[in-house]
Structure 1
Amino acid sequence: MSASVLFDAPGPKARFRNLVYSVVGSIGLAALIAWVCYRLYDKGQFAGELWDIFNYAGIRENILEALLSTLKVFALAGVFSLVFAVLLCVARLSDHKPVRWVAVVFIDLFRSIPLLITIFALWVGILGHMTPMWALVLGLTIYNGCVQAEVLRAGVNSVPKGQVEAAYALGLRKTQVTASVLFPQAVRAMLPSIISQLVVTLKDTSLGYIILYPELLYSARLIANNTPVGGVYPTVQTVIVFGAIYISLCLALAWLAKFVERRGSRSKAGIVPAGAKELEEAAAPAAPETKGPGGAAPPSK
């Protein structure tokens, strides 16, 4: 068995210690989970009747409206943040030093400020009166746009310089090189990171409950705190239902990312240059002519 070059293979005593630590840690974790479950059971959180609240039409409508509100904010913030990221990335890569430094300061500033502070500051009136929805959308756009701009910049810098030099040698301007050479390859290379940040954007919509925007987390808090059954609040049931909704949305985004990546790789591999079919036909050997009796060619039909 070959040993790794990063660390020495553990000896008998080290393997025994690792085994002991694993067993003790597993027992401790199992004991903690059992204690939590016992406490929840003791408070009546596992009672079957607590699930009955989700049979009410009003509760289901509330959940559906919260889901639509979350998706609306996510769609707006996702699109706006990607557009804003392209603008910031172009400014960050600009040859003009003032433009480049403004972009650098803006990106570093809003990546350093907690997103919750940005959203709350927009809501209380830095830019005048703003509804909770647009305060949430603008805050998500600014923060995620700054992060996505750095992701795109990393993708642009990963493109081989020879391609850029060849594009300039063909007489393309910088705008054409950026739009037709750099950004398509940058997006393809950084697509997993872009989708991962979109997942973060989706989860960050839950910060809207701070500014009273009726998204999923706000609706979950209302249901868990205002619909007791027999004096017991359905906390566990609400966490399970709304957690499943969030997990389903994130899995859908992950599936979309894999689908787009597969389609992109297939389209890249399946490109047929113009005239390739004609060249193949010209290079193929001609079929031998069939001659009639006496060596004469058969009459044409």
Structure 2
Amino acid sequence: MSTRATVLFDAPGPRARLRNHTLTVLGLVGIAAIVYFVYAKFDEKGQWRAEIWEPFLRPETWQDFILPGLWGTLTAAGIASVLALIFGAVFGLARLSDHRWIRVPAGVVVEVFRAIPLLLLIFFIFYLLPSVAGSGDYTLIAVVAGLTLYNGSVLAEVVRAGVLAVPKGQSEAAYAIGLRKTGVLWLVLLPQAVTAMMPAIVSQLVVLLKDTALGYIIAYVDLLNMGFKIIPAVFFGSLIPAAIVIGIIYVSLNLALSALATWLERRSRGSRKTAAKPIAKPGEMSSTTAA
């Protein structure tokens, strides 16, 4: 812990530093005890035996099960992310419209789909499509549509709040130089709002990626389906190893998504930090005025 004073806190004294160090050590010991307890319980059940982990060292296990499940997860997440961002941008900006006939229906759509549980949306779409379009495999469509409607509604609120968070002086200055509302929105407000919205957008996309696992309930072929249904059925006793491997893959995907968003945010901020060139060197203006 830092020993320097901050705006909110004084610098910790000797007793405070000792207390902090003691709590840190106790916390680490507690975490180590929990990890050992879990390890010991798994060991009692034989979950660390080499034969139940050996299938994950075979190339065919990855080719036939894990990679197809990963592809299913990435396909649903990729399509739903693009559609949710479009949905969120359209309805978020529609809620900022000056026209009541646009603003009110957009608000109703956003509030309705944001209030319905995602699993219920997926179920409804999955059972509705066969009665409308005939028999077929609608698992991907149901998962993508449910993810789009729910997460798109949340992102719509993020967009609306991000635009409203930009100081009013920015829009007033833009109107003062003759820009219309469309120009103010696209040239002044949105570029500033996007940077502020980036953490919330990334957080929601991470939620979307994890929510693809709900496709398991309608037998959509994704990582969760492969890890908890197919692999344990083929390799008896490999449920816990499969859960650990699949969990590591999910964590890696979310970390990669967060790293990409951080890079995009830094790049967007850096591109706007361009210093204006001075109109004249010091002294030139005074000499010109004197002439």
- When the two structures are superposed, what TM-score results if normalisation uses the length of structure 1? 0.78
Distance 1:283 1:101 in 2: 57
| Pair 1:240 & 2:247 matched | no
Larger radius of gyration: 1
| Pair 1:225 & 2:232 matched | yes
The equivalent position to 2:165 in structure 1, one of 158, 172, 194, is: 158
Gaps of 5+ in 1: 285-301
Distance 1:265 1:30, change over 3 A: closer
| Pair 1:255 & 2:259 matched | yes
Equivalence for 1:214: 221
Equivalence for 1:270: 274
1:208 aligned partner, one-letter code: G
1:265 aligned partner, one-letter code: R
Equivalence for 2:115: 112
Equivalence for 1:81: 84
Tell me the alpha carbon deviations over residues 35-93 of structure 1, each in whole angstroms, 9 at most, x when there is no partner.
Answer: 44333222211101111112334321121111111111111111111111111111111
Identity of aligned residues (%): 42
Tell me the alpha carbon deviations over residues 92-114 of structure 1, each in whole angstroms, 9 at most, x when there is no partner.
Answer: 11112232122222212221211
Distance 1:280 1:75 in 2: 52
Distance 1:26 1:159, change over 3 A: closer
Distance 1:223 1:279, change over 3 A: farther
The equivalent position to 1:94 in structure 2, one of 93, 97, 102, is: 97
Whether contact under 8 Å (2:232, 2:242) holds in the other structure is: no
What is the CA distance between 1:279 and its match in structure 2?
Answer: 5.1
Q: How does 1:33-182 map to 2 (within 5 A)?
A: 33-61=35-63, 62-125=65-128, 128-129=132-133, 131-182=138-189
Distance 1:217 1:160, change over 3 A: same
Whether contact under 8 Å (1:80, 1:141) holds in the other structure is: yes
Tell me the alpha carbon deviations over residues 244-301 of structure 1, each in whole angstroms, 9 at most, x when there is no partner.
Answer: 11111111111111111211121111355xxx388569969xxxxxxxxxxxxxxxxx
Distance 1:28 1:103, change over 3 A: same
Distance 1:28 1:177 in 2: 55
Tell me the alpha carbon deviations over residues 130-166 of structure 1, each in whole angstroms, 9 at most, x when there is no partner.
Answer: 7110111111111111111111111101111122122
Distance 1:57 1:133 in 2: 27
1:236 aligned partner, one-letter code: I
1:170 aligned partner, one-letter code: I
Gaps of 5+ in 2: 286-291
Distance 2:69 2:259 in 1: 23
Distance 1:242 1:68 in 2: 13
What is the CA distance between 1:170 and its match in structure 2?
Answer: 2.6
Question: Cα RMSD (Å) of the superposition?
Answer: 3.3
Give the match's secondary structure for 1:214.
coil
What is the CA distance between 1:183 and its match in structure 2?
Answer: 1.4
Equivalence for 1:297: none
Whether contact under 8 Å (2:93, 2:159) holds in the other structure is: no
Equivalence for 1:188: 195
Q: Which has the higher helix share?
A: 2
Distance 2:67 2:162 in 1: 38
**Number of residues of Structure 1 aligned to a counterpart in Structure 2:** 270
What is the CA distance between 1:221 and its match in structure 2?
Answer: 1.2
Distance 1:256 1:32, change over 3 A: closer
Distance 1:95 1:27, change over 3 A: same
